[in-house]
Amino acid sequence: MKRIYLDHNATTPVHPEVKAAMLPYYEDLFGNASSVHSYGREAREAIDVAREQVAELIGASSPTEIIFTSGGTESDNHAIKGTALSKADKKGNHIIISPIEHHAVENTCEYLEKRGFEVTHLQVDKYGIIDLQNLEDAIKDTTILISVMHANNEVGTIQPLAEVGKIAKERGILLHTDAVQSVGKIPLNVDELGVDLLSLSAHKIYGPKGIGALYIRKGTRIDSLLHGGHHERNRRAGTENVPGIVGLGKASEIAKKEMEANREHLWSLTEKLRAGIQEEIEFVRQNGHPEQRLPNTLNFSFEFVEGEALILSLDMQGICVSTGSACTSGSLEPSHVLAAIGLPPEIAHGSVRISLGRDNTEEEINYVLETLPSVVNRLRAMSPLYADRMKKRKEGKL
């Protein structure tokens, strides 16, 4: 059976050109970038090129502002813990985050909270957008860091980050953004956004897993998490993952080059899908902002059905998507993002995230639109909630 992959916010396939660029660094060019000899120089040069490619993608003024990490989670940890630790001897101990952050930010802040830091969670509206006045009000003399993700991984909503940047700058507070989902998908410039720290990851942009980067604006005080050798200008010890770094660099270069074409392609496919779903299926609601969203991301709640049952059923039809339902995790509580945008738990349990990628076609979207209604109907036919609702409708109560 043909499989249709619609879970690109989870991960993406490695771009063939990225893979081709990486392979020599597993073979002939295997050197350690710290070595003085020619093998080392070849590796060092490759890292330098990649650093420029990443800097170019996000508009960093110098490649020295980029450090390579093991991925988005490490970048988030480094940005937040590194900032917190660098201020530990000062009066500042207050961090402000949005309530829809990735767990890499959320749980890092929770960790710091247990160690004496104070964390404020902002509010978001029904689309997941933060309230700037709420942010201004949350700032204290002790605030050392604001961390607001650029675009949300689950619902795709894009934050007014440039406005946050202005506020942070006026108040002299560092701004970090987890831009793992937005980098490479939408235009992004660290100066225009006014961010001091930015996390990104390769495997969301057709690069390899296990490699990412943290942008650190020149002059930003931040402690290191990993201590050891003098790698990454003493900011991140450990022998560089050269093939991974080369892959991230190449993926960044391609993302920049293909961004406009991909955006248009993805927007038109997602709009077709959105319109089709809303036309074909009853009791469905779109989660996240309908316009201020990533071009590839849609999130829907299908009422009266549970998300895991829905994605399992779709998987049997070759369609691969994900859910914010609790039933895919051990927690039994639905996604904190869906809770933060005010979805009642029973609606959140029926959520499905559909995230497209550059290789998806209109034909695939047509197949989804042909398949999805019957999958939803099958589950609704055995749902007591749906039966109750239909009974009420029949009785003319609704």
CB of 364 to another protein, least distance (A): 22
CA nearest neighbour of 124 among 152, 91, 145, 104? 152
Query: What span, in angstroms and rounded, lies between the C-alpha atoms of 171 and 140?
Result: 9
Query: Mask: binding to another protein, 60-99, rule CB under 8 A, as x and -?
Result: ----------------------------------------
Segment near another protein (CB under 8 A); pick from 74-82, 194-202, 281-289, 342-350: 342-350
Pick the closer one to another protein by CB: 109 or 375.
375
Total site size for another protein, rule CB under 8 A: 28
Query: What span, in angstroms and rounded, lies between the C-alpha atoms of 129 and 98?
Result: 9
Q: Does 287 bind another protein (CB under 8 A)?
A: no
Q: Does 304 bind another protein (CB under 8 A)?
A: yes
Q: Does 381 bind another protein (CB under 8 A)?
A: yes
Q: Does 309 bind another protein (CB under 8 A)?
A: yes
Pick the closer one to another protein by CB: 20 or 316.
316
Could you tell me the two tokens for 24?
């020599």
CA distance to 193, 270, 273, 342, per residue, from 287 (Å): 25, 14, 14, 10
Q: Of 53, 334, 355, 375, which lies in the binding site for another protein, with binding defined by CB under 8 A?
A: 334
Pick the closer one to another protein by CB: 39 or 283.
283
Please calculate the CA angle 381-382-387 and round it to the nearest 5 degrees: 70
Query: What span, in angstroms and rounded, lies between the C-alpha atoms of 251 and 122?
Result: 33
Q: Of 65, 154, 306, 364, which lies in the binding site for another protein, with binding defined by CB under 8 A?
A: 306
Catalytic residues: 327
Chain centroid to CA 354: 14
CB of 302 to another protein, least distance (A): 11
Segment near another protein (CB under 8 A); pick from 30-38, 92-100, 215-223, 303-311: 303-311
Q: Does 382 bind another protein (CB under 8 A)?
A: yes
CA distance to 76, 334, 360, 393, per residue, from 104 (Å): 6, 17, 29, 44
Query: What span, in angstroms and rounded, lies between the C-alpha atoms of 315 and 306?
Result: 14
Q: Does 28 bind another protein (CB under 8 A)?
A: no
CB of 301 to another protein, least distance (A): 12
Q: Does 335 bind another protein (CB under 8 A)?
A: no
Segment near another protein (CB under 8 A); pick from 32-40, 98-106, 207-215, 327-335: 327-335
DSSP H or E run through 137: helix 132-138
Query: Mask: binding to another protein, 346-365, rule CB under 8 A, as x and -?
Result: x--x----------------
| E strand map for the chain | 4-5, 66-69, 94-97, 118-121, 143-147, 174-178, 197-201, 212-216, 284-287, 297-302, 319-320, 351-355
Neighbours of 120 (CB within 10 A): 17
CB of 119 to another protein, least distance (A): 25
CB of 349 to another protein, least distance (A): 4
Pick the closer one to another protein by CB: 159 or 313.
313
Under a CB-based contact definition with an 8 Å cutoff, are residues 221 and 200 in contact?
A: no
Pick the closer one to another protein by CB: 319 or 326.
326
Q: Does 308 bind another protein (CB under 8 A)?
A: yes
Query: What span, in angstroms and rounded, lies between the C-alpha atoms of 167 and 137?
Result: 11
Local structure of 332: helix, strand or coil: coil
CA nearest neighbour of 304 among 287, 325, 283? 283
Q: Which positions lie near another protein, rule CB under 8 A?
A: 304-309, 312-313, 316, 325-327, 329-330, 332-334, 344-346, 349, 381-387
